[in-house]
Amino acid sequence: MIATVVLASLSEGARLLRDNFWDYTVTGATIGAIYSLVALGYTLVYGVLRLINFAHSEIFMIGTFGALYATQWLGFDPGDPKKTGIALIGVLLFCLVIAMAVSGASAVVLERIAYRPLRRRGSTRLAALISAIGASFAISEAFALWRGRNFEQFPRLFDKTHTVFTLFGYDVRADQVLIILSALFMMVALDQFVRRTRLGRGVRAVAQNSETAQLMGVNIDRVIVLTFLLGGLMAGGAALLDMVFLEQTRYNIGFILGVKAFTAAVLGGIGNLRGALLGGFVLGLVENYGSALFGTQWKDVISFTLLVAVLMFRPTGLLGESLGKARA
């Protein structure tokens, strides 16, 4: 009896997915791009410190408020007319810079306050993990006290319903194109930075063998700060893109998204930059296809089941753990 109901709803879900496949794909890729950007922060810090920075979700949340403030500072109201052309690009870039700056700075301050004192004392990794969780609660509750617990609306900056191009009959919207392309651009920039520059090489060296890195003259404290900064910048970028897409924020907006991004990082192989990129997109797609098959209410269940499955059957993730071993 129950089985037939489940089967019936599944076959209906399958039809829904088949008929709107490209719709689900593009939306899944869009949200996946945001997961990827946030996942990079988890993976970078893990690679260098072998620490899951659970307060990273709050760095993202702070970025969303940074973006919101930027629009208010420019005098936007939710009801304002939409921008186009050069003005739009200017507004977006301004919001991006503010969100990235705010998130990047918060990540650096977080490292100073929550992790560095522990590191100096030679504390265990468990202590750092608890400190991370404590910092996460402290930051989000501080925002709850300051901004209240209700959603705040992010103004619509441009006409999102505008179709940029048509993919197999599905109209791809402007915001989706913007999010996917800018996320990809940021990820390529980060990848190149870590691969090509001297400081980036220092990051890779510390991730692969921190003691030898020190013996070669890498300033480990500087690398750690840089790692938090890079992760924060990516989270800030993700924050603006998320605001453009979903248009609201509040104190705990980072929580579910943070756990999803963490899932993406583990899925791709934590510590591995390209793994975070892959994991984010795969998670976004799986989650979105799954919500078509099983119903939207199952979305989070699907993601976290995937996390459990990865940890059980392939704990090193798709591309394998380790920042350094990731090679082109």
Partner 1 sequence: MLLELDDVHVHYGKIEAVKGVSVTVDEGEVVTLIGANGAGKTTTLKAVSGVRNVTGGRILFEGADITKVAPHRRVEMGICQAPEGRGIFPGMTVLENLEMGCYTRKDRKTGIKARDLERVYGLFPRLAERRTQSGGTLSGGEQQMLAIGRALMARPKVLLLDEPSMGLAPKLIAQIFQIITEISRQGTTILLVEQNAQQALRRADRAYILESGRVVKSAAAGDLLNDDTVRQAYLGGLGH
Asked if 209 touches partner 1 (CB under 8 A), the answer is yes
- CA-based R_g, the chain, Å: 20
**Identified binder of partner 1 from the candidate list 211, 297, 312, 313, rule CB under 8 A:** 211
**Identified binder of partner 1 from the candidate list 1, 86, 215, 312, rule CB under 8 A:** 215
Asked if 196 touches partner 1 (CB under 8 A), the answer is no
Report, in Å, the least distance between residue 200 CB and partner 1: 11
214 CB-near residues (< 8 Å, 6+ apart): 220
Asked if 75 touches partner 1 (CB under 8 A), the answer is no
Asked if 124 touches partner 1 (CB under 8 A), the answer is no
| Gap between the Cα atoms of 242 and 244, Å rounded | 5
118 CB-near residues (< 8 Å, 6+ apart): 127, 128, 131
Asked if 217 touches partner 1 (CB under 8 A), the answer is yes
Beta strands in the chain (DSSP E): 152-153, 163-167, 170-173, 248-249
What DSSP assignment string belongs to 220-240? HHHHHHHHHHHHHHHHHHHHH
**Identified binder of partner 1 from the candidate list 70, 183, 218, 265, rule CB under 8 A:** 218
Asked if 301 touches partner 1 (CB under 8 A), the answer is no
139/323 with CB nearer partner 1: 323
Single-letter amino acid code for the residue at 220 = I
Asked if 182 touches partner 1 (CB under 8 A), the answer is no
131/272 with CB nearer partner 1: 272
Residue where the block lists tokens 């390529």:
188
Report, in Å, the least distance between residue 327 CB and partner 1: 6
| Gap between the Cα atoms of 256 and 153, Å rounded | 19
Q: Report the interface residues with partner 1, using CB under 8 A.
A: 198, 201-202, 204-205, 208-209, 211-220, 322-327
